[in-house]
């Protein structure tokens, strides 16, 4: 009896079991890109994403998680590069932000184009966004209706959270079917 095929089988079995464990524990990291002027709306969205966080389906990160002494630019870009999903909270202030335009948006769109992250525009306020690089992407809420145009913004945020959940489930199914 040859030892090499047995070892190969054992190694492949362990790799497959490890891969299955990774798939089962896949928890996408979501980067929230927003203008500080829109912080209240970002907080509301975060509350609506809380059921997904509490059930272990996602993690979120935004720049308010920076701690004293961190090099903020490097940390923001590192988190942006770790995220599997990048939510762009679009408003006139988001579009006007030089930092978002030069750093976050450029990196996010490159990652989306090379397939290493999903970028999702979330239209939170009325603004001229249709000529922006992310305009080609399917936006939320449905029909790209701004959150602030809803009679009850909770309806918009719930729709966004449900769509994020569907995206996470889609990503997980793609991961499971890739073997």
Residue 16 forms part of a structural domain: no
Residue 100 forms part of a structural domain: yes
- Name 55's Cβ contacts closer than 8 Å, sequence gap at least 6: none
pLDDT at 15: 55
Identify which of 162, 130, 133, 131 has the alpha carbon closest to the alpha carbon of residue 146. 130
In this structure, what CATH number is given to the domain that contains residue 133? 3.40.50.10140
Residue 139 forms part of a structural domain: yes
pLDDT at 59: 95
Identify which of 148, 102, 142 has the alpha carbon closest to the alpha carbon of residue 125. 148
pLDDT at 42: 97
Residue 8 forms part of a structural domain: no
Residue 90 forms part of a structural domain: yes
Return per-residue pLDDT of the chain as tens, 179 residues. 454 444 455 555 555 555 555 455 678 999 999 999 999 999 999 999 999 999 999 999 988 977 888 788 898 899 999 999 999 999 999 999 999 999 999 999 999 999 999 999 999 999 999 999 999 999 999 999 999 999 999 999 999 999 999 999 999 888 877 65
- Name 57's Cβ contacts closer than 8 Å, sequence gap at least 6: 27, 28, 165, 168
pLDDT at 83: 95
Q: Domain of 91?
A: 26-42+49-176
- Say how many C-beta atoms besides its own lie within 10 A of residue 36's C-beta: 11
The count of structural domains within the chain is 1
Q: What is the pLDDT of residues 56-68, one digit of tens each?
A: 999 999 889 778 8
Residues 112 and 99: their CA atoms lie apart, in Å, by: 19
Residue 145 forms part of a structural domain: yes
Residues 179 and 4: their CA atoms lie apart, in Å, by: 24
Residue 4 forms part of a structural domain: no
- Name 132's Cβ contacts closer than 8 Å, sequence gap at least 6: 90, 95
Percent of the chain with pLDDT over 90: 73
The SS3 assignment for 32 reads: strand
Residue 84 forms part of a structural domain: yes
């Amino acid at each position: 009896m040859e030892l090499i095929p047995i070892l190969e089988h054992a190694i492949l079995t362990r790799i497959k079991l490890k891969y299955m464990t990774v798939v089962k524990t896949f928890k996408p990291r979501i980067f929230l890109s927003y203008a500080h002027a829109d912080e209240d709306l970002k907080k509301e969205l975060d509350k609506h994403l809380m059921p997904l966080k509490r059930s272990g389906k996602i993690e979120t990160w935004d720049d308010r998680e920076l701690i004293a002494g961190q090099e903020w630019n490097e940390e923001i870009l590192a988190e942006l590069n770790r995220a599997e999903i990048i939510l762009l909270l679009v408003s006139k202030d988001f579009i006007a932000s030089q930092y978002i335009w030069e750093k976050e948006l450029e990196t996010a769109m490159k990652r989306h184009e090379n397939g290493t992250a999903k970028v999702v525009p979330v239209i939170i306020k009325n603004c001229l966004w249709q000529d922006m690089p992310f305009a080609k992407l399917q936006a939320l809420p449905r029909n790209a209706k701004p959150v602030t145009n809803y009679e009850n913004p909770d309806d918009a945020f719930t729709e966004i959270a449900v769509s994020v959940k569907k995206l996470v489930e889609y990503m997980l199914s793609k991961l499971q079917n890739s073997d």
